[in-house]
Chain A
């Protein structure tokens, strides 16, 4: 596999990670489905997984970048598996909305597993690491994917600060805490 093909596949993988984070934001904003603390940590896991792919795009593909992506996905997967196991017993409830019959944390676990498998497969191809040339400028797709990941990371910082303030999050957030508690400007309640 050439470095160019590797970069294309990394860009597609990063677009997939970006899509997950955008959908999570859409669920939060449009459906007022505020993320729980564990859900916020899963989002951070996606940003960590995307981070490794972004480094492959901004610099040359390297095993250490894939390692970061796998580490992020493993931790995110452990967090989502913990949440799945909380609700796996029938009658033990659930958290948040469902998409195609599965809760977001279940989809997150599947997505994290896909990142680990994808990076494992990519690591099988040694030729992508052998170019030795300085990285070429990013084309539109990788540039957009990395820019969107950066925007989503910053947006999630702002969103988490709005929901949780500067401390730890409430277990089941009912509104944007920073408006109610810290600034006293407004209160945006979830239904």
Chain B
């Protein structure tokens, strides 16, 4: 699960190496979205701050 964004980025780089720019960008955007979702999943602790 945690390796999914990295896997998507690696696939995107693979697509870029084969000159498929749109596919590469699609993988990258998907990786960014998964990264955001995983951050949301992990950032559950309340910060010890009084702003």
Contacts and interface: CB of A to CB of B under 8 A. Distances in A.
Contact of A75 (B6, B14, B25, B32): B32
Interface string B1-44: 11101110110111011010100110011011001101101110
Contact of A47 (B9, B17, B29, B49): B9
Contacts of B13: 51, 54, 146, 149-150, 153
A47 B6 contact: yes
Interface size class of B (residues with CB under 8 A): 20 to 34
29 contacts: A37-B42, A38-B39, A38-B42, A41-B38, A41-B42, A44-B5, A44-B6, A44-B9, A47-B9, A48-B5, A48-B9, A48-B31, A48-B32, A54-B16, A55-B16, A55-B21, A58-B21, A72-B32, A79-B43, A82-B39, A88-B49, A92-B48, A146-B16, A150-B10, A153-B10, A160-B2, A160-B6, A164-B1, A168-B2
Given A51-B9, A156-B3, 17 more contacts: A44-B6, A51-B12, A51-B28, A58-B16, A75-B32, A75-B36, A86-B47, A89-B48, A89-B49, A92-B48, A146-B13, A150-B13, A153-B9, A157-B7, A160-B6, A167-B1, A168-B41
